[in-house]
Chains A and B, each alone.
Chain A
Amino acid sequence: MSAKWRVRIVIGLFVAVLAAAIYFPILKRRVKRQAQVQQKSEEQARRELVLSLNAANGNEPKVKAKLFWAADAEYSGLAADTVELPLSNDPVLRSKQVLNTLLAGPVDSELRTLPPDAALLAFYLLPDGTGVADFSEAMANSIPSGVQSEQLAVDSITRTLEANVPQVRRLKILIHGQEVETLAGHLDLTGTFPVSAKPAAPSPAPAAK
């Protein structure tokens, strides 16, 4: 092989490597952006569904509900967001409404505290003010693992209930109807979480709706 061809091959290889070095990061960004767009559209659909379900409860007057999502993408804490919802006066229905809205997530998906595919299966309220929230398995399987993310998830639930349903004094979390030891390997779910220390109005008998 002549020296001329060797030079051409080397130049060709160099150009190919250079092109790959430029093209692959662009491709990676495009794929990531596409995934985000898809996720956002799924979340948007979910939000719209929850809002339409809440809107179906149209005979109730709209009130300003306070929902707690992550304050920033680093999960440094929670921030309250006010959403107008036609909330029921019944504490069980009201709890389900606010928790479903919490699950639907904020407009900015990076601030969500609960997995997008998790669902609230049932909510009960015991006469002593203990709320029992039964979530689907996705709540435990899809949540980011860690003390920080798991504690923030539970805090967002308890603070949202505290702000909107004063009858709930403490919260027990079940996963698919079962008591589990931890949420995702860290946070203790064997006990109850305090929700509100304020005296509550008498609660109705336990009921699943």
Chain B
Amino acid sequence: MNRLIRAIPALSLFGVLLGAYATHSQSPAAGSPPGTTQGAQISTPGRAGLNLVVLDPAHGGTDPGARGSAGIREADLVLELTAQLRHSLESQGFQVLQTRTGNENPSFDDRSALANAQSGAIFVSLHVSSTGLSGTVRVYTMADMPQTQATGGLIPWDLAQAPYLPLSRKLGDAVQGELTQRFKGSPMNFQPAYVRQLRTTAAPAIAVEVSSVAMEDKADLDKMLPGVAEAIARGIVTFRPSYVTPNVPGARP
């Protein structure tokens, strides 16, 4: 009996550790700061395919992003754009999550982790640049990445975007097409770029960048935002039928 009593603390500790392991293995990407050995779980789409959009208003907190001479701050503008885009997407039946809702600045990995923990999601990072022809909007996808082998449903965190690149390009095409129709002078095609935020995101992912904070009057940018939000939402609706699970070894059926 005494032995049993003495074993209780050890058994309790074992139970806690077992529970922690089980929880972690079910959602390895969610909210856990990843290292080089940490994997991103390949999310499978929900039963109904694409149903969730993760919106990422870039910067925030101590990082204001691009700043214009008229006092325009990228971090504030993208938050306004996110609110309008969220409304447009929800009216189309999408669920929406945001990487930030106020003036805070989650890390790149924390923002990616939010998307990586979801099923049937896409990721849209929103930016306003310092440069470019005023009144135009560009879409970026991650530039070429080395192919990676998934092991047991996990892909290296640093290359999480690699299996999703073809889908990201389709999404980029659809969204850029809508934006170009609405904002003359915008490029005809999405552009590849080494965007840090996209690299660790295990979902179809794009960055959208509006030009620019250099506008002399913020009202001109404010006027653009509803059109930008609507065009992005239309692009996502166009992309929705293309959404499939990437053919990656180890992906859950």
A146 touches B132 (CB 8 A): yes
Whole-angstrom distance between the Cβ of A193 and the nearest chain B Cβ? 7
Residue-by-residue, is A182-208 near B (CB-CB < 8 Å gives 1, otherwise 0)? Answer: 100111101101000000000000000
Please tell me the number of chain B residues within 8 Å of chain A, measured between CB atoms.
Answer: 29
Residue of B nearest to A181 (CB): B196
A147 touches B129 (CB 8 A): yes
Question: Of A144, A186, A190, A193, which is within 8 A of B195 by CB?
Answer: A186
Number of inter-chain CB pairs below 8 Å: 73
A146 touches B196 (CB 8 A): no
The answer to whether residues A147 and B199 also contact, given A185-B63, A187-B194 and a CB cut-off of 8 A, is: no
A193 touches B133 (CB 8 A): no
Residue-by-residue, is B174-211 near A (CB-CB < 8 Å gives 1, otherwise 0)? Answer: 00000000000000000101111101000000010101
Asked if B130 is an interface residue, CB under 8 A from chain A, the answer is yes
Question: Of A146, A185, A188, which is within 8 A of B131 by CB?
Answer: A146
Asked if A41 is an interface residue, CB under 8 A from chain B, the answer is no
The answer to whether residues A147 and B130 also contact, given A186-B195, A188-B196 and a CB cut-off of 8 A, is: no
In the bound complex, CA of A75 to CA of B138 (Å)? 12
In the bound complex, CA of A187 to CA of B129 (Å)? 13
| B-side contacts of A154, CB under 8 Å | 194
Question: Of B66, B108, B158, B191, which is within 8 A of A146 by CB?
Answer: B66
Chosen A-B contacts, 16 in total, with CB atoms closer than 8 Å, are: A74-B133, A145-B66, A145-B67, A146-B66, A146-B129, A146-B130, A146-B132, A147-B195, A148-B132, A149-B129, A149-B131, A151-B140, A151-B193, A186-B58, A186-B127, A186-B195
Extra contacts, 11 of them, besides A147-B209, A185-B58, A191-B194 (Cβ < 8 A), are: A74-B132, A75-B131, A144-B66, A145-B65, A146-B129, A147-B195, A147-B207, A149-B131, A186-B197, A187-B193, A188-B194
Question: A residues engaging B (CB < 8 A)?
Answer: 74-76, 144-149, 151-152, 154, 181-182, 185-188, 190-191, 193
